[in-house]
Amino acid sequence: MLYVKERNGENVVLRGARVLDPAEGIDATLDVRIDNGVIAAVAPEVDAGDHRVVDATGLVLAPAFVDPHVHLRTPGREDEETVASGTAAAAAGGFCAILAIPNTDPVVDSAATLGALIETARREAEVPVGFMAAITRGQKGDELTDMAELAASGAIAFTDDGIPVASAGMMRRALQYASVTGRPLVLHCEEASLSHGSHVHEGSVAAELGFAGYPSVAESIMVERDLALAAYEDQPLHLMHLSAAESVAALRRAREAGVRASGEVTPHHLVLTDEAVRSLDSNLKMNPPLRAESDRIALLDALRDGTIEAIATDHAPHARHEKDAPFEEAPFGVIGLETAFAVLNTRLVRPGLLSLATLVDRMSTGPARIFGIDRPRVAVGATANLVLLDLEREWDVRADGFRSRSANSWLLGATLTGSVVMTIAAGATAYQLVHAR
């Protein structure tokens, strides 16, 4: 279900890092030896033998990250991102696996399109990629895709992200049929008749600036509908990029009632509110929109208590000339793979709002569990999926600094603290910071 180009397994000793793997209950200064891509020893001092040695003193070694929501724009918009550039960006962000969204051109709704993508990934993916397929043909909401065949061909999940399934009847059929595939449905919840034509959260900022309001209830009403259907059909579902307090409350209630529902939140919804839109910067235009401070607090609380198990970047590359337009004309979406860890470390971990252990869990273990991916972990015998982090390093976010083909980041010009020093994905080194230390 995950595809990557052939690379040589790493032989390396990472010496003296603070090894942090919350799921394994490890937080100690240890050496880690990797033999041919597999963790061979985790101990206070290991024999390096012929291995390359990386002095990791003062750094944190953690399970590498898993991003369940990435737009790779391939096929169709290779000017914005390719499998090669998107996975290189992921590697630089500390990710050992990413999941690609099928709202491409053409939409990934057939085994042929999916097969071509898998072949591309086997040729050029720097880190393992999983591909989601559409729930309905062409994401038109009319007919189900051949979900069983798509799952057998390698689809990791199903989503109509971008153009959500409007009809409750169609959603019910999708939930029923997805059970045959064993793969989860992944839902972008938006009632289009409430959000139609709008760009900014309905609140005082939209009212003052004149933007058509995209109310919270446009999301939460659909979250409630889909959770009700999932409960009725007793099927699992995963809610994408939650933004509203009411949606979080609905997810919490459903989970307490035993519904197999999970949720994700983006870095931008965790640290920004609609106040940021006053700048009219089109890199603050995303769907769902940035919401009120009370929503942001609710999302952060849910992330802490585990109601929301996963952080997802919703990495959405856009061509420069398309974002260089008035706010309403510019497309929705921002990139996030290369800044996710650093911005959350800077804005949440360092001020004491979120523990590093919880951040690592929600960026790695949480999303892996939801999608049935082998959990990245620091354990002898496990394939090395590790990230080495420098929590103190400061760096500037610059348009020419991205491995992504696009630079539509809301963080351009910001200084962040904390960076990825090295990423080992599926046993091979996918990224190493140049000039580190």
Partner 1 sequence: MTIRLVNDELRPPQPPPRRHLLSVADLTRDDVERLLGTARTFEASMERELKKLPTLKGRLIVNLFYESSTRTSSSFELAAKRLSADTLNIKSVGSSVDKGESLKDTALTLGAYDPDVIVIRHPQIGAPQLVANVTDAHIVNAGDGKHQHPTQALLDLYTLQQELGRLEGLHVAIVGDVLHSRVARSLIQAFELVGIRCTLVGPPALLPRGLGVEATTDINAIRDADVVYVLRMQNERMEQGANYVPSLREYAAQWGITPERLSPGQKVMHPGPMNRGVEIDPRVADSIDSLVEAQVRSGLVVRMAVLYDVLTGGPVGVRALAAAEVA
Which residues are designated catalytic? 314
Name the residue among 411, 321, 327 with its Cα closest to residue 79. Answer: 321
Name the residue among 288, 274, 260, 143 with its Cα closest to residue 209. Answer: 274
Do the Cβ atoms of 33 and 423 come closer than 8 Å?
no
Name the residue among 91, 180, 77 with its Cα closest to residue 129. Answer: 91
6 or 208: whose CB is closer to partner 1?
A: 208
Q: How far is the CB of 202 from partner 1 (least distance, A)?
A: 6
Q: How far is the CB of 73 from partner 1 (least distance, A)?
A: 21
Which tokens in the block code for residue 155? 């689809």
33 or 318: whose CB is closer to partner 1?
A: 318
* Residues linked to residue 35 through DSSP beta bridges, in sequence order: 38
| Widest CA span in the chain | 66
Q: How far is the CB of 138 from partner 1 (least distance, A)?
A: 25
CA atoms of 168 and 350, how far apart (whole Å): 43
Which tokens in the block code for residue 406? 């696009």
CA atoms of 113 and 107, how far apart (whole Å): 8
Residue given tokens 């260089």 in the structure block: 324
Name the residue among 129, 316, 292 with its Cα closest to residue 240. Answer: 316
Tell me, letter by letter, the H, E, C secondary structure of 123-175: HHCCCCEEECECCEHHHCCCCECCHHHHHHCCCCCEECCCCCCCCHHHHHHHH
21 or 274: whose CB is closer to partner 1?
A: 274
Q: How far is the CB of 410 from partner 1 (least distance, A)?
A: 16
Binding site for partner 1 (CB under 8 A): 196-197, 202-211, 213, 280, 321, 324-329
Q: How far is the CB of 218 from partner 1 (least distance, A)?
A: 13
Which tokens in the block code for residue 375? 């959990």
- Among positive and negative, which fits the CA dihedral 311, 317, 318, 324? positive
CA atoms of 59 and 203, how far apart (whole Å): 43
68 or 203: whose CB is closer to partner 1?
A: 203
Q: How far is the CB of 213 from partner 1 (least distance, A)?
A: 7
Q: How far is the CB of 205 from partner 1 (least distance, A)?
A: 8
Q: For residue 124, which amino acid is it?
A: E
Q: For residue 236, which amino acid is it?
A: P
85 or 409: whose CB is closer to partner 1?
A: 409
Q: How far is the CB of 245 from partner 1 (least distance, A)?
A: 16
Output the CA–CA distances (angstroms, integers) from residue 437 to 19, 64, 89, 190, 339, in the order listed: 19, 21, 21, 46, 20
Total residues found in the chain within this entry = 437
10 or 80: whose CB is closer to partner 1?
A: 80
| 3-class secondary structure, 437 | coil
CA atoms of 350 and 154, how far apart (whole Å): 39
**Local structure of residue 423 (DSSP, 8 states):** E
Does residue 288 have a cis bond before it (omega within 30 degrees)?
yes
55 or 329: whose CB is closer to partner 1?
A: 329
Q: For residue 69, which amino acid is it?
A: H
52 or 196: whose CB is closer to partner 1?
A: 196
